[in-house]
Amino acid sequence: GEDVEQSLFLSVREGDSSVINCTYTDSSSTYLYWYKQEPGAGLQLLTYIFSNMDMKQDQRLTVLLNKKDKHLSLRIADTQTGDSAIYFCAESMGTGRRALTFGSGTRLQVQP
């Protein structure tokens, strides 16, 4: 079955860039997503990328997709303390009935 893997923890200083990495195994993935979960809250969609794209930029967020290596990354520029959260990578096969498959989540800690 599908598998999505992430490292569990990342610590950065405020103002630095954060890079959160994710690998996935399902080559038929159509959409790849990044979700953010703040303490005590549900999941918030940050951004997503179609599998036919290599890069997507949205303000401070940059998503890079390497389909050959099945590697996805999320870069957060000028990281702020408000970015401290758990970040989940997820994949799906798109418009069908398939559910999202999630990674384990990366806890980002931003130090002032």
Partner 1 sequence: DVKVTQSSRYLVKRTGEKVFLECVQDMDHENMFWYRQDPGLGLRLIYFSYDVKMKEKGDIPEGYSVSREKKERFSLILESASTNQTSMYLCASRITGTGVGYTFGSGTRLTVV
Q: Which residues, at least 6 apart from 69, have a Cβ–Cβ distance to it below 8 Å?
A: 23
- CA dist 83 and 88 (Å) reads 13
Shortest CB 82 distance to partner 1, Å:
19
Q: Measured from the CB atom, is 55 or 99 closer to partner 1?
A: 99
Q: Measured from the CB atom, is 18 or 103 closer to partner 1?
A: 103
95 counts as binding partner 1 under rule CB under 8 A? yes
Do residues 19 and 74 touch, judged by C-beta distance below 8 A? yes
Map the footprint of partner 1 across residues 22-81, applying CB under 8 A. Answer: 30-31, 33, 40-45, 48, 50
92 counts as binding partner 1 under rule CB under 8 A? yes
Considering only the stretches 11-19, 67-75, 76-84, 97-105, report the one whose residues sit in contact with partner 1 under the rule CB under 8 A. Answer: 97-105
- CA dist 71 and 25 (Å) reads 9
Per DSSP, the residues of 33-75 read EEEEE-TT--EEEEEEEETT-SEEEETTEEEEEETTTTEEEEE
Give contact residues for partner 1 (rule: CB under 8 A).
1, 4, 6, 8, 30-31, 33, 40-45, 48, 50, 88, 90, 92, 94-95, 97, 99-105
